[in-house]
Amino acid sequence: MTSAFKKTFITAMILPAFVSVSVYAQKQPVRLNPDNLLLYRDQAGKVNQVQTKADWEQRRKEIIRGMETVMGPFPGEDQRVALDVKILEEVKLDKYTRQLITYQSSPGSRTPAYLCIPHTAKAGTKVPAVLCLHPTDNRVGHKVVVGLGGRAGRQYAAELAERGYVTIAPAYPHLANYWPNLGKLGFVSGTMKAIWDNSRAIDLLASLDYVDLKQGVGAIGHSLGGHNSIYTAVFDPRVSAIVSSCGFDSYRDYYDGAERVWYFGKGWCQIRYMPRMSNYRGKLDEIPFDFPELLGVLAPRPLYVNAPLHDSNFRWNSVDKCAEIAKPVYEMLGAKEKLVIDHPDSDHNFPQEQRDRAYQLFDSVLKN
């Protein structure tokens, strides 16, 4: 099998049956300026200045359509089948009980997750909850966020449980112990499968009589989990406070725009992420969404970003540019102070001081 044929074959295998290549190849509208979020396209296709919240909603919808062009469609409500939760393991700790569970995320797919339940949580005494998304780890996977292996600074699911939050930490597709057949399940990308698994994890939290979701649910993640928390919050409005640690810079700035990371199977273009990203190699300006726009979509929800000065994966100054571009949307929606960027003097890490600030954000939003 030649390398070119092999690439074509693998790509075809991950495309779900209901997405035709001809549909995917249809010409998309001219890309709106990703550095000016106060532009929108009206029903006639004319580009106008955003003047109202209704105008912004048109741009917001276009950004989400751009995401689905690359990630594949967010599944319909018919995919929200019974969760059928199964407990595989249960360990009682000093302040909480940790369960290893699986739940039915969609027909024919079960997702592993850790569920941490504070001893203060019980029927009649509801407590808030946080979705805890793990970084890239092909050895222990989601175990790292409950303190069962991997580097320090990633155990936020355990720390939040100790602070009285119910936490749920789903496994990420095609890492460690979780290998769903994406194409068979109808997913174009591992990214969209993860978003859907996370949305179903929120469904699971909502089903528990000891969880209080009146103020929504938090979402936190480091690295892979950092952008996963943003993606999930875009598609699931129940996420009311977002923390992203070392999770992004502009796609155009990723590794300083080096072409080598935009081939199929590299960087963002891996099957477990978004393989269609490889179509934009050499033309990054044409990617139909970028992080400045995603931050804007999250407004007016509070967002705390940890972007260390010495992160070798994502550039802190690019994060600042993304935030500056998103700020006018936050300002328009009366939430200027809710977009917070932090730059610790560290490497690709989530220091204790920044984790504490993240937890304080959840306290201010979810415990009111």
Structural domains of the chain, with CATH:
77-367 (3.40.50.1820)
Q: Would the pLDDT of 141 be above 80?
A: yes
Strand order in 96-106's β-sheet?
86-92, 96-106, 109-118, 166-170, 129-133, 217-222, 239-245, 303-306, 339-342
Residue 35 dihedral angles phi and psi, to the nearest 5°: -100, 5
What single-letter amino acid sits at 81? Answer: V
Residue 288 dihedral angles phi and psi, to the nearest 5°: -75, 10
Q: Please tell me the predicted confidence (pLDDT) of residue 312.
A: 92
Which residue is listed with tokens 């179903």?
200
Rounded distance, CA 131 to CA 8, Å?
36
Q: Would the pLDDT of 17 be above 60?
A: no
Tell me what the mean pLDDT of segment 313-338 comes to.
97
User: What torsion, rounded to 10 degrees, do the Cα atoms 348, 352, 355, 359 define?
Assistant: 180
Residue 130 dihedral angles phi and psi, to the nearest 5°: -135, 135
Q: Please tell me the predicted confidence (pLDDT) of residue 100.
A: 98
Q: How many CA atoms lie within 13 A of 295 on its CB side?
A: 36
Residues 6+ apart with CB under 8 A from 115: 98, 99, 101, 166, 167, 168, 169, 204
Q: Please tell me the predicted confidence (pLDDT) of residue 89.
A: 97
Contact, 232 vs 219, CB < 8 A?
yes
Provide, rounded to the nearest whole percent, the portion of the chain with pLDDT above 90: 87
The 8-class DSSP code of residue 18 comes to T
Q: How confident is the model at residue 16 (pLDDT cuts 50, 70, 90)?
A: very low
Residues 6+ apart with CB under 8 A from 3: none
Q: Would the pLDDT of 194 be above 70?
A: yes
The strand ranges marked E within 124-222 are: 129-133, 166-170, 217-222
Chain segment 212-231, per-residue pLDDT in tens: 999 999 999 999 999 999 99
Kindly report the number of other CB atoms within 10 A of residue 343's CB atom.
Answer: 17
- Write out the H or E segment, with its range, that includes residue 105: strand 96-106
Chain segment 92-123, per-residue pLDDT in tens: 999 999 999 999 999 999 999 999 999 999 87
Residues 6+ apart with CB under 8 A from 139: 149, 150, 176
Q: Would the pLDDT of 315 be above 50?
A: yes
Q: Please tell me the predicted confidence (pLDDT) of residue 237.
A: 97
What single-letter amino acid sits at 264? Answer: F
Tell me what the mean pLDDT of segment 73-81 comes to.
95
Contact, 149 vs 111, CB < 8 A?
no
Question: What is the pTM for the complete model shown?
Answer: 0.91
